[in-house]
A and B are shown apart, each in its own frame.
Chain A
Amino acid sequence: MTEVVQQLVDGLGRGGEYALIALGVGLIFGVMHLVNFAHGEMITVSAYVSYGLALAGASWWILVPTIVLTAVLTSVLVEFVAFRWVRSSSDFTMLLTSFGVHFVVQAAFVMFVSASSRHFDRPGWITSTVSLAGIRFEVVDLAIIAATSVSLIFAVWVLQRTVYGMAIRAAAEDFDTAQLLGIRPNQVIRAAFALAGLLAGIAAVFFLMRTGRAAPSAGLIPMLKGVLAALIGGLGRLQGAVIGGLLLGLVEILLVSYLPDDIDGMVNGIIFVLVAVLFIFRPSGILKVGPAQRP
């Protein structure tokens, strides 16, 4: 029983990170029909900024807001440099554009820093645990669950109650019509990228606290997990992204705990295959399949 609860919390903590990334992926898919494979670059860039600051002796009190801010700026910048120009292109073009961004950023860090990873100190409390009702929890898991809940509530509030949020949702529903009705596409898309960057930034904070590592491909795996989570929940459904993220986190923790040791290193591959099998039976994710599009 104890073990189950611990793993549940562990899985929710991990899943919360994925949910934050997946929500951003879903938002961007909503406004411009792009599955953003460069969504992890916010984490990569933040990681190097943290590394630089940590070298200069900055504490995590400074790092946390910097990471979030860096992620937001990176997200908006990438939209401005790359995605703006392929906005109405085919899926193929947009997918490869985002992959191009990923490779350029990754290779740039190889070029200007190093191919090997850089490490910085993790906060002291990261490995500490607390005991609640006789069950030991890692503090970081609880912190992630709290932060994720707050961020998700914030994101929902922004989307439901603010003018920008409504514009984003309107544009996600029908971009052309929204544009005709006076919603400015550049601003809406920028807002969506900023919000997605913010959510990814919060995920990045915990990711970097856990790993304390900056590497050229640091963002790759979290990004892929976020994309998978968004797809599992059904792309473009925001609540689906959250459910997909949590589910993915739980499955991952279960696999890590119960897989035999000799294939322990294949968790990511196994997750990929599981999701691929899921798509064979439910190409549009686990949530209820909506009506077929009107031709």
Chain B
Amino acid sequence: MNAASPSQSQRRQTRTLRATRFNGVSRVGRDRVIADLVSAALLFAAVSLLGLGYVAGEGAARESLFTTLLINATVVVGLQVFLGNTGILSFGHVGFGAVAGYTFAILAVDVEWKQRLIGDAPFGAADLSVPPLAAITAAIALTLVVAAVVGLGIVRSGAARGDIAATVITLAVLFAAYEIAINWTEITGGNRAGISFRPGTAMLGRSYAYVGFALALVVAQLYRSSRSGRLARAAREDDLAARTLGINPARHQMSALLLSVGLVALGACLRVWLTGTVSPERFFIDYTLLTLTMLVVGGRSSVTGAVVGSVIVTALVEFTRTISGPELDPGPFDIVIRPGLTDVCLGLAMLGFMILRPNGLLHDREIADLPILRRLLQRDPVPSPFHDTSGPRATPAGAINDNQLKLTDMSVEFDGLAVLSQAHLSVDRGRICGLIGPNGAGKTTMLNALNGIVPVLEGRAAVCGRALDGLPSYKRARAGVSRTFQNLRLFDDLTVRENVEVVALAHGASRSEARQNAAEMIELNQLIDVALRRAKDLDYGASKRLELARAAVSQPLFLLLDEPTAGFTEPESRLIVQQIRAIAERIGCGVVVIDHDLAFITSICDEVYCLDQGSVIAHGSVSEIRSNPVVRAAYTGE
């Protein structure tokens, strides 16, 4: 009976949680969607007006330049969705663009013309022709399938260790696409010829470019403030902290990748359709340089930035192209005004921005962040003090068999060196348990093992009867274990409020719940004054309090605190004691706290475990531990 009931009760609780979540769109959510759409519309209007003004009565050359801008901006906004939200540098998007561009051309060119270009094409491609829109749809679909396969590799390596392996995988995409395009001549037309449309059948008019651009803006804006987008950005800032707080980076990186590649594929098809030709060089390093420069000039963390960067870089390229064209006499400037100038300028722009302004012109500011629009759209109002008179919260979702956090026979080795051997721990909910011991005793490793961020040799971990063994970190966090770190691991580039809100979102709270819970924790930890500041701009004390707020907002069953008073003066430590007590009481959780400050441990803990050389050497109430001779020996070397 016990085996069946937990999962049933869990399911019931999840259902009620869902029901409340979908009981009408929350106000915060609806306002957000409106703000995003307004943002996208404003950007679209601004670029369109700019273009109309520029083109007006000046002829076809300007019109074609503006259409190119719209299409490039579509690609760059697509890039922004992935690079901006996940922080992973990708050189492969242009490679995905090549897949889409070729697929589109192969499908859309009319049969008779195709017979002359690639008459031997396999899969009957030479005898098939579909309308352009159907070809675009098919091209995007095929590219997404490729991206999903490649994405498995990217998110695996991106999540496991830095971004560099992920970046190399994206380079592989670029090179593989290029070499396939050159060598698989039967279907791609090879290096020289490529595939061209029959003269006169390329895209006429700009309407599709407008549609593509508008679509890209809407998708990028909606994703940016979606749950997935926000969680992806949290993981971008600190992968490990994100995972231990219940965020699954791989999932959100994958979502971002697919949306992003979809938009890039759309842009690539339009580019092929507009110019009427596709060849390997058109989707290789030069276009990668161009689009990446556009993105970093404007600011990769902002959709508005992507658009602004596209406009500025297009103007720059057009300017250098005009002055270094063959028809003009450069006079005394012929040293620099010559072919190649454009690429030098692009390279210098990228280099200059990376060195002087790595976040681009706009960093993460959007058009809706303009003060006047912010007021109109009521975006991110300054948080007000939160007044909640309700008592301790109800038990969060999860199968409750007992009320204990339990670690048994836990052993961890690093390179054959035993760091934790047969350690055990059991803490009741509602109690505060100290973990002491000399440096290197294995205290932090114990928390890491519990979090699943170090490989465990043997041993079991369970929270309230639910086994954690073998679960990934983020699932353990969702099972009710949340933590802080010895050295701060905040989501540096996000604001204080976002830091707290994303964790609530990761645990399934609706937008308004997340906002409310975050407000509560922000108030409880005296962070109201700095709620809209970026985490990296906080002083040390506020950073520590923010970590506490962030860990507690998920209403965990157990809160793991790694040296919460490190670097604090005594009065500050006393304040932290009160705060931890208040939080534990409010959410009704158990606390495991590591600290070296014995006065702090004494004042806050109900019981204490003492570790030495990876083993628990003593366990008991504070007074028992104080008088324990083994503990004294370990600490003072007596």
Interface residue ranges, A against B (CB under 8 Å): 35, 82, 85-86, 89-93, 95-97, 99-104, 106-108, 110-112, 115, 224, 227-228, 231, 235, 262-263, 265-266, 268-270, 272-273, 275-277, 279-280, 283-284, 290-292, 294-295
Given contacts A96-B350, A265-B183, contact A107 B87 (CB under 8 A): no
* Beta-carbon contact of A104 and B344 below 8 Å: yes
* Beta-carbon contact of A111 and B341 below 8 Å: yes
* Beta-carbon contact of A35 and B183 below 8 Å: no
Give chain A residues whose Cβ lies under 8 Å from the Cβ of B344: 104, 107-108, 111
Q: Does B617 contact A (CB under 8 A)?
A: no
Q: Does B125 contact A (CB under 8 A)?
A: no
Of the candidate stretches B63-71, B103-111, B156-164, B371-379, the one touching chain A is: B156-164
Interface residue ranges, B against A (CB under 8 Å): 83, 87-89, 150, 152-153, 156-157, 160-165, 167-169, 171-173, 175-176, 178-180, 182-183, 240, 244, 289, 292, 296, 336, 338-344, 346-348, 350-351, 354-355, 358, 414-415, 444, 448, 453-455, 485-486, 489
Give chain B residues whose Cβ lies under 8 Å from the Cβ of A110: 339-340, 343
Distance between Cα atoms of A279 and B164 in the complex (Å): 10
Distance between Cα atoms of A228 and B168 in the complex (Å): 8
A97-B351, A100-B351, A272-B175 are known; give 6 further A-B pairs, CB within 8 A: A91-B89, A104-B347, A263-B183, A266-B179, A269-B175, A290-B415
Given contacts A280-B153, A291-B415, contact A107 B164 (CB under 8 A): no
Chain A: CB-nearest residue to B152? A280
| Minimum Cβ distance to chain A for residue B153 (Å) | 4
Distance between Cα atoms of A106 and B167 in the complex (Å): 21
Given contacts A231-B168, A294-B444, A295-B448, contact A104 B156 (CB under 8 A): no
* Beta-carbon contact of A108 and B160 below 8 Å: no
* Beta-carbon contact of A272 and B172 below 8 Å: yes
* Beta-carbon contact of B164 and A235 below 8 Å: yes
Distance between Cα atoms of A176 and B171 in the complex (Å): 31
Give chain B residues whose Cβ lies under 8 Å from the Cβ of A227: 168
Given contacts A111-B344, A115-B339, A272-B176, contact A295 B453 (CB under 8 A): yes
* Beta-carbon contact of A275 and B168 below 8 Å: yes
Distance between Cα atoms of A107 and B454 in the complex (Å): 46
* Beta-carbon contact of A279 and B163 below 8 Å: no
> Of the candidates A89, A96, A101, A283, which one forms a contact with B292 in the assembled complex, judged by CB atoms under 8 Å apart?
A96
* Beta-carbon contact of A91 and B454 below 8 Å: no
Max chain A CB contacts within 10 Å: which of B164, B176, B179, B358? B164
| Minimum Cβ distance to chain A for residue B357 (Å) | 10
Distance between Cα atoms of A110 and B340 in the complex (Å): 6
* Beta-carbon contact of B355 and A115 below 8 Å: no
Could you pull out 24 A-B pairs where Cβ atoms are within 8 angstroms? A86-B355, A91-B164, A92-B358, A93-B354, A100-B348, A100-B350, A103-B289, A108-B344, A111-B344, A115-B340, A224-B175, A231-B164, A231-B168, A266-B179, A266-B180, A268-B175, A276-B153, A279-B169, A284-B160, A292-B454, A294-B444, A295-B444, A295-B448, A295-B489
Distance between Cα atoms of A86 and B343 in the complex (Å): 22
* Beta-carbon contact of A291 and B454 below 8 Å: yes
| Minimum Cβ distance to chain B for residue A101 (Å) | 6
Distance between Cα atoms of A277 and B165 in the complex (Å): 11
Q: Is the interface of A mostly helix, strand, loop or mixed?
A: helix
Chain B: CB-nearest residue to A294? B444
| Minimum Cβ distance to chain A for residue B335 (Å) | 9
Give chain A residues whose Cβ lies under 8 Å from the Cβ of B339: 110-111, 115
| Minimum Cβ distance to chain A for residue B516 (Å) | 30
> Of the candidates A86, A103, A108, A284, which one forms a contact with B161 in the assembled complex, judged by CB atoms under 8 Å apart?
A284
Chain A: CB-nearest residue to B177? A269
Distance between Cα atoms of A25 and B40 in the complex (Å): 43
Give chain A residues whose Cβ lies under 8 Å from the Cβ of B162: 91
Distance between Cα atoms of A35 and B162 in the complex (Å): 12
* Beta-carbon contact of B169 and A100 below 8 Å: no
| Minimum Cβ distance to chain B for residue A32 (Å) | 13
* Beta-carbon contact of A92 and B87 below 8 Å: yes
Chain B: CB-nearest residue to A224? B171
* Beta-carbon contact of B354 and A291 below 8 Å: no
Give chain A residues whose Cβ lies under 8 Å from the Cβ of B164: 35, 91, 95, 231, 235
Distance between Cα atoms of A262 and B489 in the complex (Å): 52
Distance between Cα atoms of A227 and B172 in the complex (Å): 12
Give chain B residues whose Cβ lies under 8 Å from the Cβ of A276: 150, 153, 168-169, 172-173
* Beta-carbon contact of A268 and B351 below 8 Å: no
Given contacts A107-B344, A111-B340, contact A283 B176 (CB under 8 A): no
Given contacts A111-B338, A283-B161, contact A277 B179 (CB under 8 A): no
Distance between Cα atoms of A290 and B160 in the complex (Å): 13
Distance between Cα atoms of A27 and B52 in the complex (Å): 53
* Beta-carbon contact of A291 and B160 below 8 Å: no
| Minimum Cβ distance to chain A for residue B175 (Å) | 5
Chain B: CB-nearest residue to A220? B285
* Beta-carbon contact of B179 and A268 below 8 Å: yes
Among all A-B residue pairs, the 3 with the closest Cβ atoms: A111-B340, A107-B343, A100-B351
* Beta-carbon contact of B351 and A273 below 8 Å: no
Give chain B residues whose Cβ lies under 8 Å from the Cβ of A108: 340, 344
Max chain A CB contacts within 10 Å: which of B152, B160, B180, B355? B355
> Of the candidates A92, A111, A263, which one forms a contact with B89 in the assembled complex, judged by CB atoms under 8 Å apart?
A92
Distance between Cα atoms of A101 and B167 in the complex (Å): 18
* Beta-carbon contact of A283 and B179 below 8 Å: no
Give chain B residues whose Cβ lies under 8 Å from the Cβ of A292: 448, 453-455
| Minimum Cβ distance to chain A for residue B98 (Å) | 12
Given contacts A265-B183, A272-B175, A284-B161, contact A90 B358 (CB under 8 A): yes
Give chain B residues whose Cβ lies under 8 Å from the Cβ of A91: 89, 162-164
Max chain B CB contacts within 10 Å: which of A96, A231, A275? A96
Given contacts A111-B344, A291-B454, contact A283 B156 (CB under 8 A): yes
* Beta-carbon contact of B183 and A104 below 8 Å: no
* Beta-carbon contact of A106 and B343 below 8 Å: yes
* Beta-carbon contact of A95 and B89 below 8 Å: yes
* Beta-carbon contact of B358 and A86 below 8 Å: yes
* Beta-carbon contact of A269 and B289 below 8 Å: no
| Minimum Cβ distance to chain A for residue B321 (Å) | 13
Distance between Cα atoms of A272 and B174 in the complex (Å): 9
| Minimum Cβ distance to chain A for residue B102 (Å) | 15
Give chain A residues whose Cβ lies under 8 Å from the Cβ of B183: 262-263, 265-266
* Beta-carbon contact of B455 and A231 below 8 Å: no
Distance between Cα atoms of A205 and B348 in the complex (Å): 29
| Minimum Cβ distance to chain B for residue A10 (Å) | 22
* Beta-carbon contact of B358 and A280 below 8 Å: no
* Beta-carbon contact of B179 and A231 below 8 Å: no
Max chain B CB contacts within 10 Å: which of A102, A228, A262, A269? A269
* Beta-carbon contact of A97 and B176 below 8 Å: no
Given contacts A35-B164, A96-B89, A111-B341, contact A269 B292 (CB under 8 A): no
